[in-house]
Structure 1
Amino acid sequence: MIPDENRFHSDPDQLVGDRPGLPDGWTVGQPDPADRFDVARLTHLLRAHERDGRGWAGSGVDDVLVEVSERGLRMRENVVVRDPDGDIHAWGSVHDRSVGRMLFVHIVQRDLPDEVADACSDVLFTWAEGQARAVGSARGLPVQQIDTGAFEGDERQARWLRDAGFERVRRWWQMSRPVEPGEKDLVPDPERWEADGVVFRLVRRAGSGLPDEDDLREVHEVLEGAFVDHFNSSEETFEEFLFRLREDPGHRWDHWWLAELVDGDRPQPVGALIGTVSESSSGPDGSYVSYLGVLEAARGRGVAKGLLRTIIADAALRGRDRVGLEVDADSPTGAAGLYTSMGWATKYVTESWHRDVPVS
């Protein structure tokens, strides 16, 4: 269930305390989502962080608002470091993602003097450690994981993470595949088609236009079952799952597909794909595979490949020019082989860094 109240501490001073190393007059506080200057500054910091880490920026204002808006703050908390003029130079965000797993965004302005940047980084880590204890305590856990990331090759970020006690635990290939207009015919109809005893279809829509709740629960159950043995999987309630996915700026209900075996007495959901829109300001939009899961009992039936062909055909019908996805570089499932065989190639690489914080 989504909690009625945020599980985090809302007062940064309770967690950070003295801030040695920050220049005189610099302060620690919270961003104001109603202040367009704060939102613009956070967007600038995020985009600069992306450009330096992977060579280009893809985020925008909507991605910032996911973290700092009133709705987002039901499951998140934020901290910023300001200079005497009120300009923001560092930003931290934590997300109560699921049981035992707290996501952490750590961004420090790229062109600060080293000693000031290090001091800002220390503030963010101290704050995040305190938030981990707060959310872990609220969930009744003995240990709370902090899960953060870095772009491969970002030595400054890696140094800070190592010094703060984090361990690099995983690499992720961020892959993309071009889409050609003629690929709209990859499947008979992306809304519903059938092959070899498997039906691929969009989640049903109720009379109100909203998706059928039973279908949404089937998607959740399939993904929970498909990923139960995967790296860093953690339990997420249906309410948490739905709340989080709807926050994505690219969320669209008509990008959710189910795959069902229909060669038995009744349809059996065995696969699910959740897609989103990757909007572009300088060309065609793209589609993105946020989740793709197939239950173990149905593997070998062409379910994953059928779902991927479906989103490719859907993208072509919509005039999009690419489909992106993320794959675990260390996964033993061989998923990367399927993706490369279908035309995906790695665009850049990210890393997961974890730290386990005892909750006292």
Structure 2
Amino acid sequence: MSWPEGIEARPIDKGDADAWAELLAAKELVDQEGENYDAQDLIDELEDPHLDPAADTIGLWAEGRMIAYGKLHAAEEVIDLDRVGTEGTVHPEWRRRGLGTALMPWLINRAGELHAAKHPKSPGEVTSSRISTNVGAEALFRTFGFDERRYFFDMKRPLDQPVPKVALADGLRLVPFDTSMDETLRLAHNDVFLDHWGSTPKDPDSWKTWFTGARAFRGGASYVVLDGDTIAAYVLGYEYEADTEATGIRELYIGQVGTVKAYRGRGLARMTLAKVLAKAAEVGYQRAALGVDAENPTGALGLYERLGFSVSSKWTSYGLPL
């Protein structure tokens, strides 16, 4: 791979976490995506058991600073299509110098290698996304042949507004998350999201890394509906300390909302989410946030709007066949 003169390119390791965080902070000041990271967040990403940092990350350096990066993440299982996700950015001071144009072929090539190694018998696609206000990213995707695939909304809700009280159906129990139910919850989540676009089953390692074992996970702000010992619905909450540090607002991020198919149509997601919002307000959170597929098959967008959430930003997912 050829890089512009004066640019050093190498994989990202844990020792680069501070420089990587500085790059992302500079990006956030301009792009306003609502995402903030500290060095530990990025170390956590590098420790993902399914990530090979030496092969699947790249940092571009100049003048002693990380000025751009790229990273890939491949699914361990495939349902309909092997989507190899990519992410990256260029420092605002270094944009319009061809770095994004140089970085994209590296990402596409590596995505093809991952697809060939992991799921060669399935159709494959390299994917990425952008916030709607980032027109530069849109132009870059178009240049390399990417097409729009799906639309997503980030939504927020202040917690100083009343939370509706919803009655629990007879025979069901609404309880805080407990580690004893973790594996049962993982299996329930995998079943719930089988019909959701782009979702793939989570193995125990991924579940522990990014869900209930994540540093940001807040079990005390996560609730589960039980029918006997069967999980019927759940809402899992997260708190990202770097966001609080950057914004001064303590926000509970609603990472997962799910209802098992046999229990849909009974208002369990609404009831559980209302409980989580009330609990979050009680313990001092100032705002709740979540992301939703604009075409979610369960009607989640309408549910969130009825609970007081409003759209704060719009995102587009892009794909390029491999």
TM range, normalised to the smaller chain? 0.7 to 0.9
Deviation at 1:326, TM superposition (A): 0.8
Partners of 1:316 and 1:124 in 2: CA distance: 43
TM-superposition CA deviations, 1:168-209 (whole Å, max 9, x none): 2111111111113975x957xxxxx954332111233xxxxx
Residue 4 (structure 1) aligns with? none
TM-score with structure 2 length normalisation? 0.86
- Residue 236 (1) aligns with residue 236 (2): no
TM-superposition CA deviations, 1:19-75 (whole Å, max 9, x none): 3xx1x23221123422xxx4333222212323322376633333332334xx23652
Residue 276 (structure 1) aligns with? 238
| Residue identity in the other structure for 1:171 | Y
Partners of 1:348 and 1:194 in 2: CA distance: 33
- Residue 176 (1) aligns with residue 156 (2): yes
* Aligned equivalent of 1:109, options 70, 91, 110: 91
Residue 309 (structure 1) aligns with? 274
Distance 1:74 1:332, change over 3 A: closer
Residue 62 (structure 1) aligns with? 40
Distance 1:26 1:73, change over 3 A: farther
Residue 24 (structure 2) aligns with? 46
- Residue 202 (1) aligns with residue 176 (2): yes
Deviation at 1:309, TM superposition (A): 1.1
Partners of 1:72 and 1:55 in 2: CA distance: 23
Residue 257 (structure 2) aligns with? 292
- Conserved? CA contact 1:91–1:107, under 8 Å: yes
Residue 107 (structure 2) aligns with? 128
TM-superposition CA deviations, 1:126-176 (whole Å, max 9, x none): 222232233223324244332311111211001111212222211111111
Q: Between 223-232 and 151-160, report the one with greater CA deviation.
A: 223-232
- Conserved? CA contact 1:223–1:292, under 8 Å: no
Deviation at 1:339, TM superposition (A): 0.9
Residue 51 (structure 2) aligns with? 75
Deviation at 1:248, TM superposition (A): 4.1
Identity of paired residues, percent?
21
- Residue 18 (1) aligns with residue 2 (2): yes
Give unmatched runs, 5+ long, in structure 2: none
Give unmatched runs, 5+ long, in structure 1: 1-16, 188-192, 205-210
- Conserved? CA contact 2:208–2:214, under 8 Å: no
- Residue 91 (1) aligns with residue 83 (2): no
TM-superposition CA deviations, 1:108-141 (whole Å, max 9, x none): 1223252x2x2x2233222222322332233242
| Residue identity in the other structure for 2:84 | M
Q: Between 272-281 and 321-330, report the one with greater CA deviation.
A: 272-281
Deviation at 1:246, TM superposition (A): 5.2
Distance 1:196 1:52, change over 3 A: farther
Describe how 1:126-275 pairs up with structure 2 within 5 A: 126-142=105-121, 143-180=123-160, 186=165, 194-204=168-178, 211-212=179-180, 215-245=181-211, 248-261=214-227, 266-275=228-237
- Conserved? CA contact 1:170–1:353, under 8 Å: yes
Partners of 2:128 and 2:292 in 1: CA distance: 17
| Residue identity in the other structure for 1:52 | V
- Conserved? CA contact 1:220–1:241, under 8 Å: yes
Distance 1:89 1:283, change over 3 A: closer
TM-score with structure 1 length normalisation? 0.78
Say which SS state the counterpart of residue 235 (structure 1) adopts: coil
Say which SS state the counterpart of residue 194 (structure 2) adopts: coil
- Conserved? CA contact 2:222–2:276, under 8 Å: no
Distance 1:57 1:291, change over 3 A: closer
Say which SS state the counterpart of residue 162 (structure 1) adopts: helix
Q: Which runs of 4+ in 1 moved over 6 A?
A: none
Equivalent residues, number: 311
Say which SS state the counterpart of residue 25 (structure 1) adopts: coil
| Residue identity in the other structure for 1:300 | G
Distance 1:186 1:247, change over 3 A: same
Distance 1:303 1:55, change over 3 A: closer
Q: Which has the larger radius of gyration?
A: 1
Say which SS state the counterpart of residue 40 (structure 1) adopts: helix
Distance 1:58 1:294, change over 3 A: same
Partners of 1:58 and 1:325 in 2: CA distance: 15
Partners of 1:307 and 1:167 in 2: CA distance: 36
Distance 1:354 1:55, change over 3 A: closer
